[in-house]
Every structure is written in C-alpha cells, then in structure tokens.
C-alpha cells in the first residue's frame, strides 16, 4: 500500500490505475468505514482512501482539536483491506495561506444539520470537490449514517457536472445497534450505555410506520417519546424528512428518513433510518 502526503504524488500514482474507487475519511477508522472500503475494493481496479481531519468543516466551538486520531492503526487497517493508496494530505499544502474558494450548497445544506452547524456543509463540499479533482475517481463511496451529507454531495455533484458516480453504503452498527462513529470513544461509560437508545427509537418509529401510520406529526411524536423513554438527552432535532431535500414530508412516503441529532455532554451523535427499509 502506497502512502502519499503531497497532491503531486497522488496524481502521479493515480495515472497508473484503471478505474478508481475513492473513500474520503477523517480517520480513526471503524467497521463503518471498512464497509465503504470493501465495497470500493469489490467494484474497482484500484482503491484510494484519504485520511484528513478537514479543519474548514468544524465550527469555532467544535471538536477539531479533540477529534480522535490514530494514523498508524488506520494505515494497518487499510493495508489489510487491500487498499492501493492512502492520501494523507498536509493541511498547509491543501489549504495554503492564500486559499480563498468555498463551495456553498443552498437548500438541502441549510436545513437541520446545516442549521445546527453553520458552514459545516460548505467545508464538506469544498474538501470533497478538491479531493475529487486530485484523485479523479470513477466512483466515490459515502455512508448512509451521514444521510444529509450524502444528499449535499449528490446535489453539488449533479449541479457542477462532476463526473464521479456516488454510492451510498448502509450504516454500520455496533452489536448493540449504536451507529459506528469515530466520536463514540469520547462518550462517558454512562452515555455509551444509553446511546443505543437512538437506534431503538428509530426502530420503534419504523414499526409504527410499518403498521400503516403516515402522519408525520404522529411519527415524530413517537420518535421523541421513544428517545425520552430511553433516557436520551433533548435532541437538536428528531424529524421525518424527504431523503433528497431534507424537508418535512406529509404524508410520509416509503423513502422517508427518520433522522436525529442528540448532543451528549462532549459528543454530538447523529443517526437515521429509512422508514420503508425492511
Ligand atoms: P468520517 O471519517 O466520519 O468523515 O466518515 C467517512 C465516511 O465514512 C463518510 O462517508 C461517512 O458517512 C462514512 N461512515 C461513517 N460512519 C459510518 C457508519 N457507521 N456506517 C457507514 N458509513 C459510515
């Protein structure tokens, strides 16, 4: 497995590959990330993974400094998966002092997670656009866990005619149902014990949907009630939305998502579940 830290060296190595599948990450890898890597491995001639804790997608009071990092462990995990190249950019080259461009997505990027974290999706759209231009993959893989991020990426890839096929991979979960996340290690023992309640609340809401309920207000009330019953802190949002626009849907359609964000003391967790999925 090759490791590149400069943009030129990635471009040079990439020139010798055929069809490239690309998995952008912020590292501190877990099984969720590896499911993206395995899918990319199965569908492409070569697999490129980037590890970059992207400073411009963190707000001033967010956890950029404390975001967990373990480069050696990440590299060992990726080597085992048969990854061809890992790109670990230096922030100083990626964002030189005179860097002045930002990709701003409107509509879907302004709602929910975008409203809670101003500037977050612009930071994501900008880094992903740069990475696509550097890596020039045929396909790129993203996780359903970050459902609104997926919708934002699909939006600007389509709007800007970026020639990369986007594949969304289902959410990987721990045995107790908690969505795998690099941030889970920062939960206290008590919070970690409560956190599977997010998934339980999503599953319970889906059961009500499957029983025939299509009224958004009733489904959202159920979601919030189940969060309370599971002793989950007050959510930033707990809603039923359209998976492309992230606007409220009523009546609730088969492709709708139950979606939530919950601030625990030091970590903000997000999760979602497509209601029509078996
Ligand atoms: P991150 O390192 O958190 O920026 O995530 C990198 C990629 O992995 C993104 O496309 C995420 O949506 C995806 N991802 C993160 N957690 C999971 C998970 N539990 N299951 C599937 N994909 C995930």
Tell me whether residue 120 is one of the annotated catalytic residues: no
Element (H, E) at 87: strand 85-87
Closest to 260 in 3D by CA, of 249, 251, 269, 248: 269
What pLDDT, on a 0 to 100 scale, did the predictor assign at position 221? 98
Residues 145 and 271 sit within 8 Å (Cβ to Cβ): yes
What pLDDT, on a 0 to 100 scale, did the predictor assign at position 277? 79
Q: What is the rounded average pLDDT for all residues in the chain? A: 97
Distance CA 97, CA 139 (A): 31
Element (H, E) at 12: helix 7-14
Q: How far is the CA of 181 from the centre of ligand 1 (A)?
A: 7
Residue 245 neighbours by CB under 8 Å, 6+ apart: 107, 108, 151
What pLDDT, on a 0 to 100 scale, did the predictor assign at position 40? 99
Mean pLDDT of 130-148: 98
Question: How confident is the model over 17-49, as pLDDT tens digits?
Answer: 999 999 999 999 999 999 999 999 999 999 999
Per DSSP, the three-state class of 255 is coil
Question: How confident is the model over 147-196, as pLDDT tens digits?
Answer: 999 999 999 999 999 999 999 999 999 999 999 999 999 999 999 999 99
Q: How far is the CA of 2 from the centre of ligand 1 (A)?
A: 22
Mean pLDDT of 75-81: 98
Residue 167 neighbours by CB under 8 Å, 6+ apart: 39, 43, 139, 140, 141, 142
Mean pLDDT of 56-66: 95
Question: How confident is the model over 89-128, as pLDDT tens digits?
Answer: 999 999 999 999 999 999 999 999 999 999 999 999 999 9
pTM: 0.98
What pLDDT, on a 0 to 100 scale, did the predictor assign at position 266? 87
- Residues touching ligand 1 (Cβ under 6 Å) are 25-26, 32-33, 35-36, 142-143, 145-146, 169, 171-172, 179-182
Q: Is the pLDDT of residue 278 over 70?
A: no
Ligand 1 nearest atom to the CA of residue 28, by list position: 2
CB-based burial, 229-264: b 16+ in 10 Å, e otherwise = ebebeebbbbbbbbbeebeebeebeeebbbbbbbeb
Active-site residue identified among 4, 29, 33, 227: 33
Mean pLDDT of 54-74: 96
Residues 162 and 129 sit within 8 Å (Cβ to Cβ): yes
Closest to 185 in 3D by CA, of 25, 30, 32: 30
Mean pLDDT of 134-147: 98
């Amino acid at each position: 497995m090759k490791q590149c830290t400069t943009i030129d060296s990635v471009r040079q190595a990439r020139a010798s590959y055929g069809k490239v599948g690309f998995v952008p990450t912020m590292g501190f890898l877990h099984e969720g990330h590896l499911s993206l890597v395995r899918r990319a491995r199965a569908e492409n001639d070569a697999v490129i993974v980037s590890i970059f804790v992207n400073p411009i997608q963190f707000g001033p009071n967010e956890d950029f400094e404390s975001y967990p990092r373990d480069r050696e462990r990440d590299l060992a995990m990726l080597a085992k998966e048969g990854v061809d190249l890992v790109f670990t950019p230096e922030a100083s080259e990626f964002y030189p002092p005179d860097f002045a461009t930002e990709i701003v997505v409107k509509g879907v990027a302004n709602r929910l997670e975008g409203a809670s974290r101003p500037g977050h999706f612009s930071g994501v759209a900008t880094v992903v656009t740069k990475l696509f231009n550097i890596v020039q993959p045929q396909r790129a893989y993203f996780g359903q866990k970050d459902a609104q991020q997926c919708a934002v990426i699909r939006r600007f890839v389509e709007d800007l005619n970026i020639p990369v096929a986007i594949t969304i991979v289902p959410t990987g979960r721990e045995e107790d149902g908690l969505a795998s996340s690099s941030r889970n290690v920062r939960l206290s023992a008590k919070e970690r014990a409560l956190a599977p309640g997010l998934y339980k609340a999503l599953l319970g809401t889906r059961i009500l949907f499957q029983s025939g309920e299509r009224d958004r207000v009733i489904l959202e009330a159920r979601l919030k009630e189940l969060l309370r019953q599971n002793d989950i802190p007050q959510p930033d949002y707990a809603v039923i939305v359209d998976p492309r626009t992230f606007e409220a849907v009523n009546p609730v359609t088969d492709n709708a998502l139950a979606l939530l964000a919950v601030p625990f003391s030091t970590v903000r967790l997000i999760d979602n579940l497509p209601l029509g999925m078996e």
